[in-house]
Amino acid sequence: MDRTLVATVEDHRIALLAALAITIHIAESALPTPLPGIKPGLANIITIATLCLYGLRTAAWVLMLRVLAGSLLLGTFLSPTFALSFSGAVAALLVLSVARLTPGLGFGAVGYSLLAAMAHMAGQFTVAYWLFIPHPALLQLFPVLMTAAVLFGLVSGIIVATMLKHFR
Amino acid sequence: MRSSLLTRSDWLLLIASVALLPWLYGSFWGSTGGMGEEVHIMVDGRELPPISLSKDQTLTIQGSIGPSVLEVANHGIRFISSPCQGKQCIHSGWHTHAGEFAACLPNRVALLITGRESRYDTFNY
């Protein structure tokens, strides 16, 4: 019995994109944050670009691999940070799936990026509130965090849209 | 052909997201902390019996350098006059929420509003 695991073209593509996303993720983790929970989320650029270029399946792989491998490399795997990152990624993926699979919505890179950023923030905030800090004072942070999500979602969306123009 | 960066749907979503933000601030920042019910006044380290915020009245508290006049009205309290120099206590205005704290330090008069739900857990100076 000779069984070999053949890496398809898509596997290579996923690996390459995930590596890019992980690199951005780790580089960004070195930046100081003004408020806990606020960071540019530049790895989102890779997720959205992948979604626009190769579709939902590849984007889901890249996103989940980035969260998993990123946390392993940063040493936060299965820590509260990971729980937040993971729940944010799952929420973003759910919203992106709906936005992608519902016909006739016509979102471009900026729309997907905004949706992903806001879903990520809302998802991880919900988990933070229910699991870690169920204190009403935390809710006061929510509008501030969502403002950051809209801002950074827009910025990375524009980066993706500009990037994709050079591909076409 | 030069295509624009944002599609029609992108613009609509962007406008909706930006419009959502003021609503978020309004609903999450508006009514948290809970309204105050009683005010605890401390003079020179001694605490007076708590006073209800629902009964409008004017209080004159004898502090260490003179009388401080406090007004209770509309479920809130404020300093009307105090013999201090800076008058920060008066400028701090109305205090209505549970957990709010105001003081005239030169006169050693301080007040703390309590309610069912406090806005702050603790203060540190």
With CB atoms and an 8 Å threshold, state whether B17 touches A118: yes
A60-115 confidence digits (pLDDT tens): 999 999 999 999 999 999 998 899 999 999 999 999 999 999 888 889 999 999 99
Domain contains B7? no
Q: Is A158 on the interface with B (CB under 8 A)?
A: yes
- Note whether B21 contacts A: Cβ–Cβ < 8 A: yes
Contacts of A157 in chain B (CB under 8 A): 10
Residue A54 lies in a domain: yes
- Is residue A160 situated within a structural domain? yes
Answer yes or no: is A1 within a domain. no
Candidate from A111, A140, A154 with C-beta closest to B9: A111
* Structural domains of chain B, count: 1
Q: Is A165 on the interface with B (CB under 8 A)?
A: yes
Nearest-by-CA chain A residue for B13: A111
Q: Which residues numbered 35-74 in B keep a CB inside 8 Å of some CB on A?
A: none
Among B81, B80, B123, B116, smallest CA distance to B101 is for B123
Residue in chain B closest to A104 (alpha carbons) equals B9
Q: Cβ of B14 and A154 within 8 Å?
A: yes
| Residue B39, beta-bridge partner list | B51, B113
CB contacts < 8 A (A, B): 66
Give the CATH number of the domain where residue B55 resides.
Answer: 2.60.320.10
Q: Per the structure block, which two tokens stand in for B30?
A: 């508006």
Note down the domain range covering B63. 38-114
Q: Is the predicted pLDDT of residue A159 greater than 70, yes or no?
A: yes
Residue A154 distance to chain B (closest CA, Å) = 8
Q: Is A157 on the interface with B (CB under 8 A)?
A: yes
Strands B76-81 vs B101-104: parallel, antiparallel or unpaired: unpaired
In chain B, the residue whose alpha carbon lies closest to the alpha carbon of A160 is: B5
The answer to whether residue B32 scores a pLDDT higher than 60 is no
Beta sheet of B76-81, edge-to-edge order: B57-62, B67-73, B76-81
Asked if the C-beta of B10 comes within 8 angstroms of chain A's C-beta atoms, the answer is yes
Q: Could you report the per-residue pLDDT of B77-109, keeping only the tens digit for each? A: 999 999 988 899 899 889 888 878 889 999 999
pLDDT score of B30: 67
Per-residue pLDDT band at B114 (split at 50, 70, 90): confident
Count the domains in chain A. Answer: 1
How is residue A135 written in tokens?
């204190």
For chain B, give the mean pLDDT: 85
Contacts of A109 (CB under 8 A, 6+ apart): A48, A49, A52, A157, A160, A161, A164, B5, B10
Specify whether the CB–CB gap between A52 and A164 falls below 8 A: yes
Beta-carbon neighbour count of residue A32 at 10 Å?
5
- Asked if residue B125 belongs to a domain, the reply is no
Prediction pTM value: 0.70
CA distance A129 to A134: 5
Residue B52 lies in a domain: yes
More confident residue, B30 or A163: A163
Residue A150's closest chain B neighbor by CA? B17
How far are the Cα atoms of A30, A44, A65, B27, B93 from residue A68, in angstroms, in the given order?
18, 15, 5, 35, 52
B61, containing H or E segment? strand B57-62
Q: Over the stretch A143-154, which tens digit does the pLDDT of each residue have?
A: 999 999 999 999
Structure tokens at A75: 């040493």
Task: Provide the residue range defining the domain that includes A114.
Answer: 9-29+37-167
